[in-house]
Amino acid sequence: MMRAFTMTVRLWAMVSLAFVLADFAQAQTKPSADLIVTNAKIWTVDKTRPHAEALAVLGERIVAVGSAAEVDTWHGPQTKVLDAQGKLLLPGFNDAHVHFVDGGDHLSAVQLKDAASPQEFARRIADRVKTTAKGEWIVGGDWDEQRWTPANLPNKELIDPATPDTPVWVNRYDGHESLANSVTLRLANITSKTGDPAGGQIVRDAQGNPTGVLRDSAQELVNKVMPPMTAAHRLRAIHQALDHAASLGVTSVQDMNPSYDDVKVYAELQEEGALTVRIYAAPMETGWKDQAKLGIRRAFGTPFLRMGAVKGYADGSLGSETAYFFDAYTDAPNSHGLLSDEMHPVSAMQQRLRGADAAGLQLCVHAIGDRAISMTLDMFAQIEKTNGKRDRRWRIEHSQHMAAKDFARYARLGVIASVQPYHAIDDGRWAESRIGPDRIRRTYAFRTFLDNGVRLAFGTDWSVAPLNPMLGLYAAVTRATLDGKNPNGWVPEQKLNITEAIEAYTMGSAYAEFQDKEKGSITPGKLADFVILSDDIFKIPPAAIKNVKVEATYLGGKLVYGGLE
């Protein structure tokens, strides 16, 4: 009996030792995290676990999210631990609509957006002439005549005296009209006899002479005679854009209308490990065959650089009175706006988009006026009828001024509203005088989109608007116009709450580029792109969101901006 008992004890001891050895072996073989972030207030944007206090990163991906105790099991001898000091941690922001190289270039260009008068506008250009080398052009600007009283467009006479030998080509902040001085008009051979191109307009004085302002496709008359951007200039602009994005917590961008020269530099920087932002490039739809003949389909590429989308234009902009509407402009009763040159004829645009879709490319179409939006939906519906149903994630970029009948069509066709909230608080200063009180109710209609089951993807249209996501979130939740005249919100029924706004800036934008399984939330398995903010935007007054700073930006688990002491 005693012998049997002793054998039993020995057997249990051997079994226990086996379990201990197995646990030890597992502890030895389980990889340790490279980084653990603890003592954080994490809003994951993952509905299965919205809140957490810690996360672990192995390589470039998140491997654990949860309580400090749960995540600490990934702690090893080489693990770096970051104390987030109780600060708010969010997924990295994904800007669904930028012009990345232009944005970087504008950071060092002449700054005209806040010029409060024509005289200040002219003075800044005159100052720029003093530092501009002979033969170089003065470009950029982002002027806004709505800041002036009266809000008249600038003209060449305003700047000619200070620029007798320097070409000037400065754009309105929406990019849909630009001002040329007399030197530039001569280089482009634009005279009173030059006709308006399809989809564009040469603004003229009472005698029929060009004032210097060119709208939409008419801008190409100047663009084609401009000296091309040098390789060094392009690289400098991209580095400026990368640094600026990282400083604002922007970890992904969707670059609209990049040139292939831009993409080439992105690829070179990726090889060097120098990309600090993930890029999805969408060149012009007119060149869709360039991607199709290589077999490139939507979201093709690496986590850092992908292609597979094309971007087209249906119309212009509200600020330039070239957005295309069913009804005439309130302040210009003879004008409904302009269809873009790509829409002349519409059948050609339809054919190109159908071909691009058949090749598996994602379609992104700029449409701002209600009629341009409706025509784009018509084209999408026809493409679906011809090419069949599938997961396309069509996008209408801007989606600004809606016809009431079309909200349901977005949902039915699965069209994403790729929107820029900052435009609402900017345009809200003057938009009602341009299109009247009825259409205003369906302008930047973020709430109505969500109520109709339409997905939102947030962006900025940088450099048209600031790249700072805090300004976008502030705009979406307050709709307080920049002139201070609508502190309780312009068309306040279209406000979002902060949770909805963050989701549109993270998961919404990730979905819009077919990357919702890879990023957009703090979820195990996803890329470790996250930001730590100076303030808790869930708790501070909405009006204070615009002042919140990014204290640290991480891309793939690597610090690319800032840091906590």
* Residue 318, pLDDT score: 96
Q: Looking at residue 269, what is its pLDDT?
A: 98
What is the residue-averaged pLDDT of the chain? 94
Residue 505 to residue 452: CA distance in whole angstroms: 19
pLDDT, tens digit, for every residue of 91-122? Answer: 999 999 999 999 999 999 999 989 999 999 99
Q: Tell me the percentage of the chain whose pLDDT exceeds 90.
A: 92
pLDDT > 70: percent of the chain:
95
Tokens of 103: 């944005």
Instruction: Compute the average pLDDT of residues 210-227.
Output: 95
Per-residue model confidence as pLDDT tens digits over 1-32: 444 444 444 544 444 444 433 444 444 567 99
Give the tokens for residue 197: 């191109």
Q: ∠ at Cα 150 (146, 151), nearest 5°?
A: 25
pLDDT for 13 equals: 44
Both tokens assigned to 531? 């930001």
pLDDT at 30: 73
- The H-or-E segment that residue 52 falls in is strand 51-52
Better pLDDT: 171 or 13 = 171
In the prediction, which pLDDT does 173 show?
87
| Residue 4: predicted pLDDT | 46
Average of per-residue pLDDT across 530-534? 98
What is the CA angle 329-331-335, rounded to 5? 40
174: confidence class by pLDDT, cuts 50, 70, 90 = confident
Report the helix count and the strand count for the chain, using DSSP H and E.
19, 26
Closest C-alpha to 537, from 525, 523, 526, 551? 551
Question: Residue 144 to residues 174, 293, 315, 462: CA-CA distances in angstroms?
Answer: 9, 42, 20, 15
Contacts of 195 (CB under 8 A, 6+ apart): none
Q: Examine the pLDDT at 380 and tell me if it is beyond 60.
A: yes
Closest CA to 382 of 416, 418, 352, 345: 352
| pLDDT, position 450 | 98
pLDDT at res. 29: 65
- Identify the pLDDT of residue 135: 86
- pLDDT of 136 > 50? The answer is yes
Phi and psi at residue 99, to the nearest 5°: -120, 90
Dihedral sign (CA 138, 312, 281, 262): negative
- Tell me how far CA of residue 163 lies from CA of 95, 182, 186, 312, in angstroms: 37, 9, 13, 35
pLDDT for 20 equals 39
Residue 378 has pLDDT above 70, yes or no: yes
Query: Among candidates 211, 93, 236, which has minimal Cα distance to 529?
Result: 93
Count the neighbouring beta carbons within 10 Å of the beta carbon of residue 245: 30
pLDDT at 296 over 70: yes
Region of poorest pLDDT, from 27-41, 154-168, 305-319, 323-337 = 27-41
CA distance 171 to 144: 9
Q: Which two tokens stand for residue 139?
A: 């470009």
Q: What is the pLDDT of residue 196?
A: 94
User: Amino acid letter at 35?
Assistant: L
pLDDT at residue number 273: 97
Domains of the chain: 105-223 (3.10.310.70)
Per-residue pLDDT band for 267 (boundaries 50, 70, 90) equals very high
What span, in angstroms and rounded, lies between the C-alpha atoms of 69 and 545?
Answer: 32
